[in-house]
A and B are shown apart, each in its own frame.
Chain A
Amino acid sequence: MKQERPKPPISGIIYGEFAFWIAIIGCTIATIGIMWYIFGSHHVMDPQIFLTHLLRGDTVDQIWKATTGDKSQYGYWFLNKLSYSDGLALAGVAISCWAAVIGTWGAFVGMLVSPEEKSRKMYYLYLIFILVMAIILTLCAMGVIRLRH
């Protein structure tokens, strides 16, 4: 008798789809941004000065000081600089980093509504695990869990 393929859990499919497409969108934006950064002139940090200091082994603060004359900008500084090439590239990187956050919330909703997963033993334990992970990821992405400077 031919065996039937088991149905993959819906929560996993949702996580995979969200994570993949958001990461791809983020990577595309980051690539466009970096091309503009290299070939254009509208940027926050001068690429040549940045490179010199990066390859000299300078720290984050020293690089910021040398390229912008200002102290380091932390967190989502690029949201106010989206019209700049490096701001846009960094926004793309940040979108990629949000992929798993949104994917995990999607997986939580998927598990919440899936009758197949509800019928399995210890359903609530895994629902809580996904919820905990989704909360941790969200808090990290929102900058709540961070080192104060």
Chain B
Amino acid sequence: MEKIKKRWLKIAFFILAPLVSIATLYAAQINPQVAKMTQHTVGMSPIMFFIMLLIVTTIMGIVAVLAGVGGGVIFTPIMMGFTPIDSYIIRTTGLFVAMAGALVAARPFLKRGITNIRLLFSAAVPYGVCAVIGALLAGYIHNTMGLTGEAFIRGALGIIVIGIGFVFILAGGRTEWPEVKTVDGFTERMALDMNYWEDSLNKVVHYKVTKAWLGLLLFCGVGLISGLFGMGAGWAMVPVFNLVMLVPLKVAATCSKVLISIGDSAAIWPYIEGGGMFPLFAVPCMIGLIVGTIIGTKIMFKIKAGWVRWLIIVIMFFAGIRLLLKAGKMLHWI
């Protein structure tokens, strides 16, 4: 009975969330007062802009951690959906904040040996290469396709962000210690199995990995999305590690964090070379997201944060639909 009730609630949410998002965004678009307020922000002073960005990104960082995702995942869609800033600049900054946060967070995982270094570097090669290809593709679209390219990026990101929302709803199947029944020949030869000290069990956990070939193939797609749209990709990496390759959840989460620090470092350079990095925009976002992540980590053990996950899903739907509307408007479809 409880299961059926939950399923119906999910279905209702699937239908209602996009409808409410469309209605609210449409109402905001046709309201002259909202348009007037948006025009006023152009006269903002740099110090006010810095403080405002710092506060907004700190909140983003807190909410992201409480929902179990990286700040970079929500930064790019929100900024692209709700600000008039050029998407190339937002994507450069999005990659930078995802990378900076991951660089700072990686240290304790590696020091304690939770991150599987073999798994990390075998995933880093396809992820990193495809992230660079994605970043180069982003530059190409920006330079050659003009407004159509911008509309394509916003529209495609809108679809992806809505997809991420669905991944969050359906990702309840993650398991702490998945059981590997059979290991395929390719993965066996890769020798990816490892052990780590599990504090909660007070013992060494030895785990095996499977379907490495499929995981590595999927990392190509994840890298391409991360590089092209300038966002962290922990939302996709953790399911690939945990649900496809059957890596323990803790190892999957730490591997994904360290992988973002490596792969996004490769993808960020074509964006910097393209001139998309501006310190007045990038630095407060970086500080805000790092501070927000630290605060979020501290309070996540003290509060019940189940509702934050649903908040993130609503934000994702909002941002996704907003991006689709923007893309449609740019192409004069609506």
Contact = CB atoms under 8 A, between A and B. Distances in A.
Contacts of A17: 107, 111
Given A20-B104, A58-B86, A126-B118, A136 B266 contact: yes
A80 interface: no
A48 B46 contact: yes
Interface size class of B (residues with CB under 8 A): 35 or more
A33 B274 contact: no
Given A34-B280, A50-B280, A143 B104 contact: no
Interface residues of A, number: 78
Interface in B66-94: 83-86, 88-89
B103 A20 contact: yes
A73 B274 CA distance: 9
Contacts of A4: 204
A23 B111 contact: no
A122 B190 contact: yes
A55 to B, nearest CB: 5
Given A20-B103, A31-B287, A55 B85 contact: yes
Nearest to A129: B121
Interface stretch (B125-133, B232-240, B241-249): B125-133
Contact of B261 (A74, A100, A122): A100
Nearest to A73: B275
B117 A140 contact: no
Interface stretch (B37-45, B159-167, B168-176, B313-321): B37-45
Contact of B42 (A7, A55, A94, A96): A55
Contact of B266 (A56, A93, A137, A143): A137
A83 B133 CA distance: 34
Interface string B114-143: 010110111011001100100010011011
Contacts of A60: 86, 88-89, 274-276
B270 interface: yes
A19 B283 contact: no
Interface in A25-60: 27, 30-31, 33-34, 37-39, 45, 47-48, 50-52, 54-60
21 contacts: A7-B113, A12-B110, A12-B120, A16-B111, A23-B103, A34-B284, A37-B279, A48-B45, A48-B46, A51-B46, A54-B89, A54-B280, A55-B44, A57-B84, A59-B88, A121-B191, A129-B125, A130-B121, A137-B128, A140-B267, A140-B270
